[in-house]
Chains A and B, each alone.
Chain A
Amino acid sequence: MDRIDAWVAPSFVLPAVSTLDDEALMVRVRDLDDVEAFEELVRRYEARARRLFLAYFGSSEDVEDGVQLCLLRLFEARRHYRRQDHFPAWFYRLAMNVAHDQWRKRRRWYRLLTRFRDLTVGSPTDADPTTSVQEIEAHRQVLWRQIQTAVQRLPRRQRQVVILRYVEDMSLAEIAETLRMPLGSVKAHLHYALRKIQRWVKSR
């Protein structure tokens, strides 16, 4: 990888990027504009960003744009990073802000898309789950799409809590740290979100 317009100390001065933890890498990106360290961070966090954007936008083409935008924002926001910040939590906050901004810009289009999907897909109760393996799989696909739609209809905080809980598989304490909110608030958001999702799925 070429070093682009940035001074990077020779390798005998700085340790190899693969041996550093996320926080040290981000500090190097922040202080030295170290492209090599940034690439290592991208390697570690690209998949997480993709998961997050898939959960936000379903399998639309905006996912890849969102991932690119998220990594670009990560580089742009490098000066705001502080050494004491837990990097994964900091990254998730940044990624979710990017996702939410993107969602807000195209909110009407996504709502139209989900309505159209609801009309064409139908209800999972239409299929008999005992008929065949293919039909069971089809039933599950329909259910997941309905859940995806229901998650997209949730308010911002509830959606973030659900995604971190079920997609990122975080504990409630980790969610509280990532979103910087009390544990009780996380529980409350999760509870209301599940109730809304349940109501939505049952009404289909």
Chain B
Amino acid sequence: MRHRSPTDSGIDADIERALTEWGQSVRETAELRSRHVRVDRTHWLQAILRPYHRWTWALRWAVGLAAIGLVGAGLYFSALRDRASQSVRMANSEWRIANGETRVQNREVPFLSRSLLPRVEDLWPDGPFDPELAVQVHTLLMALRQSGRTTCPDQADGLDFRSETEKVRHLYRTWALTAHRWDDPYGEVLRRLAVIVEPCLSPTQAQTLQVWSQDVNAYLYLAWPTHEK
């Protein structure tokens, strides 16, 4: 115990001595308690640490699972929304066809996705971009995608393609150019679609496509009776 000198600033030496003795008594009491309060460390350490560890691990698992659940739910609802909006687009197209619209009235083309626009635009390397025709080609793309197949027979129009992407691209381009040249987009394009894609479709899908095609053909027949079907 180090020696303490009395302060010279108005503090009594008695008080400082009393404080020193008090500190000593606290130390002795603590030591006495430490001897008597001899708990089994294994027990209390386990009591402290085990729930702590379990709790933190449970929390980590809970947070991890919640994060995975959130991401999964986000992806699921995103896919659901895409599918719903695509169905709405298809229903709109069918509604327009059923109601006798050969031209898309809405110039803003809201359902034409931006990511697809450049690709559709590429279909017209020689001429100006035609948004109405782009919409029609886009509708066909959607029909093709909804059929569950994006590939076609290896031999199309007698051409042999090196890759699937090139093949599909060529088909789109052919349909679009043909439709543009003939000024009869629905009839010709749908016919070509039916001829090329039908072998790839399931019976239900093929039937749906045929019904749609027949509806459009019937309309086109009424709209242009002079046109050869």
Chain A residues in the interface with B (C-beta under 8 A):
1-2, 4-6, 35, 38-39, 42-43, 46-47, 50-51, 54-55, 59, 63-64, 68, 71-72, 75-76, 140, 143-144, 147-148, 162, 165-167, 169, 171, 191, 194-195, 197-198, 201
Contacts and interface: CB of A to CB of B under 8 A. Distances in A.
A167 B37 CA distance: 20
B30 interface: yes
Contacts of A64: 37
Given A169-B1, A191-B9, A162 B19 contact: yes
B30 A147 contact: no
21 contacts: A1-B42, A2-B46, A5-B53, A42-B45, A54-B26, A54-B29, A54-B30, A55-B26, A63-B33, A76-B52, A143-B22, A144-B18, A162-B19, A165-B23, A167-B27, A169-B23, A194-B19, A195-B10, A197-B19, A198-B15, A201-B15
Contacts of A59: 29
Nearest to A56: B26
A68 B48 CA distance: 9
Nearest to B19: A166
B16 interface: yes
Contacts of B12: 198
Q: Is the interface of B mostly helix, strand, loop or mixed?
A: helix
A51 B26 contact: yes
Given A1-B45, A167-B27, A194-B16, 10 more contacts: A2-B46, A42-B41, A72-B48, A144-B18, A144-B21, A147-B18, A162-B19, A166-B22, A191-B11, A194-B11
A176 B50 CA distance: 37
Which 5 pairs, one residue from A and one from B, show the smallest C-beta to C-beta distance? A166-B23, A5-B53, A51-B30, A167-B23, A50-B30
A6 B53 contact: yes
B30 A47 contact: yes
Nearest to A43: B41
Interface string B23-51: 10111011101100100011011101110
Query: A-side binding surface: helix, strand, loop or mixed?
Result: helix
Contacts of B9: 191
B77 interface: no
Contacts of A195: 10-11
Contacts of A147: 18-19, 22
B201 to A, nearest CB: 57
A36 B71 CA distance: 40
Interface in B135-172: none
A162 B22 CA distance: 11
A150 B52 CA distance: 38
Contacts of B1: 169
A115 to B, nearest CB: 20
B227 to A, nearest CB: 80
B57 interface: yes
B20 A166 contact: yes
